[in-house]
A and B are shown apart, each in its own frame.
Chain A
Amino acid sequence: MERQDEWVRVERTSAFKELTRQRKAFILPATIFFLVFYFGLPFLTAFTSVLDANVVGALNLAYVYAFAQFVMTWVLMHVYVSRANRWDDLVDRARHEAAEGDGTSENGEAGRSSG
């Protein structure tokens, strides 16, 4: 179980905990948001006619909603990537912390937990 201890050591670093916390705090709400926003369009068009109203000329709300999905995709994508690029620093820090923390784990029980 030597091999497993190493992974747990990375997992226990403060940088890795920060990484998982930040990822979860972003990805969970972002995923819920884009799924709700996405399925809003088929729900509203399949069961109601509220999106039939024209906005400019013959261009109706359904098309505007559809184009908004494109904008939403591009914006969310760039927000995610700019965060993910910052998370890479946390990954490096976790690696360093785990390496430095090498003999210092006083109780060799690290491998038993699966935090």
Chain B
Amino acid sequence: MSDQTISIIFFVLIIALTLGITIWASRKNKSTSDHYVAGGNIKGWQNGLAISGDYLSAASFLGIAGAISLTGFSGFYLSIGFLVAYLVVLLLVAEPLRNLGKYTFADMLASRFNKPSVRSAAALSTIAISMFYMVAQLNGAGALVGLLLGLPYTLSVVVIGILMTFYIVAGGMVATTWIQIVKAVLLIAGAISLSVLVLARYGFNPITLFNEVDSQLGSDMVLPPPPAGLVAGLDVISLNIALVLGTAGLPHILIRFLTVADAKTARSSIITATWIIGLFYLLTPILGYGAALIVGQDAISEANAAGNLAAPQLAEALGGPIFFAFISAVAFATIVAVVAGLVVAASSAFAHDFYSNVIRGGEASEQEQLRAARFTAVGISVLAILLAIPAASLNVAFLVALAFAVAASANVPVILLTIFWKRFNTTGAVAGILVGLISCIVLIMLSPNVMTGPNPEPPATPIIPIEAPFPFLYPALFSVPLGFLGCYLGTLLGGGGAEREREQGLQVSYDEIQVRSLTGISNIEQELQESTPQEEPRTT
């Protein structure tokens, strides 16, 4: 049996497994609530696994292992930032979001601000972030499948696109969640077995592995990159701002907290997720350095210039064609599952926020909403496929970093201020989202990511061959403060204060937001009556 036949068998098995889950889930996918947030019935540990699944994308598994195998320590920044980001999510965002939101992140803003433009702006940023993220994943998937099965890039992207569309249209959030859970378990099993096989070669002592890297590949591979001036230094800070804040603004992660019953479950799901994600990221240096030593850096960069195939190559070197096929199939499942989660986030934003609440003014029936959500899922998928085809030459890491930076700039300021700032108003919310979103994208366009830079190693060949006016690769250092500034100035200059907006019915009182976000009480009259002692029933 040829190696490619083995690969095909594993791919077919993985696809059959996910299709089976989807068909099973489609029988449970009946209401809009099922479709958007799995009816709010996901258990804590299940949701924790699903969050891990959403989070451990192609960028995490293929990208970080590849980056460490080629550049050493600087690749590990991604692991640390992606993990510590969960403290921002847990301490500041998750519980208020769970308590205020319903189906989407825009619902949470809408719980305070009663103005269609706030919802529209939030839907717009959700779709923009998801689209960048999706194009990145499809791009990676296309390269992976193309290399493993010999399919051309365009055909691979189209096949994956059709698969994920089917998962979502048929199975909604229920299917997406279970595909994530299965994939998370497979991915972790794969990463652990790869690491054990690597460590077995070095007497199960990670220090020996570090020593070998140091002596065979040079100390540059273990040491952090030397200081290279102010711009380069600030660029590192800027990348880290996007990494640590971005997660708290990623729509497909945020909606995961709406799939559970209460804040307590949201909390416990973050514990599960953070342990799994952290343990996984602790393995990335072993995978990366193992690949650099066992596969060899030349072979890795020859297969893919960004090192994206280092992990599958390592599997082949350690366990032969069957292990290679298994790891590749897991990587493929990873990409399909993450893209499915993104499509749910983006299509919910459009169908629930824009179509049903803004266009139809909240009048759309359950059936109409569900139909709209399914049509939008198809539309979003087609758009992502069309964008991913010409993006073949773009660097995957660049697109993911862009998604994180946009999330940190457009969504995070407005989420934090909605929860914590009493004077915040509707103009501030809209201004914050738009300023963060637009400044971030414009700065990327003007940076060495797109134009020619002074930097000797831009991540991609320049798309526009003129000198970049903005010298930084990562925009978050500027665009995140600009997002906050947009919120602040919008509030100060636009419309009435929070108090006047409340009288006009444009926002609810901050008293309500504070009590709701901290206690999870939503139907207050009823809940207070239920808490009243039985012997002296009272009415309101």
Contact = CB atoms under 8 A, between A and B. Distances in A.
Interface of A: 2-4, 6-11, 16, 19-20, 23, 27, 30-31, 34-35, 38-39, 41-43, 45-49, 51-52, 56-60, 62-63, 66-67, 69-70, 72-74, 76-78, 80-81, 84-85, 88, 91, 94-96, 98-100, 102-103, 114-115
Interface stretch (B32-40, B225-233, B340-348, B436-444): B225-233
B501 to A, nearest CB: 13
A86 B530 CA distance: 22
B237 A46 contact: yes
B485 interface: no
Contacts of B511: 4, 7-8, 11, 114-115
B540 interface: yes
Contacts of A115: 511
A58 B210 contact: yes
A48 B268 CA distance: 39
Contacts of A27: 91-92
Contacts of B5: none
B80 A41 contact: yes
B304 interface: no
A60 B532 CA distance: 61
12 contacts: A3-B525, A7-B509, A59-B207, A60-B223, A73-B84, A73-B87, A77-B86, A91-B518, A91-B519, A99-B529, A99-B538, A102-B538
A47 B520 CA distance: 44
B222 interface: yes
A46 to B, nearest CB: 4
Nearest to B278: A70
Nearest to B79: A66
B398 interface: no
A89 to B, nearest CB: 12
B236 A34 contact: no
B167 interface: no
Interface stretch (B100-108, B269-277, B448-456): B269-277
B224 A10 contact: no
Interface in B489-512: 499, 508-512
B369 to A, nearest CB: 26
Contacts of A99: 528-533, 538
Contacts of B226: 49
A47 B512 CA distance: 46
Interface string B288-309: 0000000000000000000000
B39 to A, nearest CB: 23
Nearest to A35: B244
Given A46-B236, A49-B226, A58-B207, 10 more contacts: A11-B515, A31-B87, A42-B239, A46-B237, A63-B76, A70-B282, A76-B87, A77-B271, A84-B263, A114-B510
A94 B527 CA distance: 11
Contacts of B524: 3, 6-7, 10
A69 B518 contact: no
Contacts of B95: 84
A45 B224 contact: yes
Contacts of B86: 73, 77
B528 A59 contact: no
A96 B285 CA distance: 52
B200 to A, nearest CB: 19
Nearest to A78: B271
Contact of B211 (A57, A78, A94): A57
A88 B267 CA distance: 12
Nearest to A13: B515
Interface centre among B213, B224, B527 (most CB of A within 10 A): B224
Given A11-B511, A76-B87, A99-B531, A42 B240 contact: yes
B214 to A, nearest CB: 3
Interface in B152-175: none
A69 B84 contact: yes
B420 to A, nearest CB: 10
A41 to B, nearest CB: 7
A38 B531 contact: no
Nearest to A93: B531
Contacts of B271: 77-78, 81
A70 to B, nearest CB: 5
A30 B91 contact: yes
B422 A114 contact: yes
Given A4-B512, A114-B510, A73 B240 contact: no
Nearest to B210: A58
A1 B83 CA distance: 44
A95 B527 CA distance: 8
Given A58-B211, A81-B268, A95 B531 contact: yes
A96 B95 CA distance: 21
A10 B521 contact: yes
Interface centre among A27, A42, A49, A88 (most CB of B within 10 A): A42
B224 A34 contact: no
A84 B219 CA distance: 44
Given A41-B80, A47-B227, A63 B232 contact: no
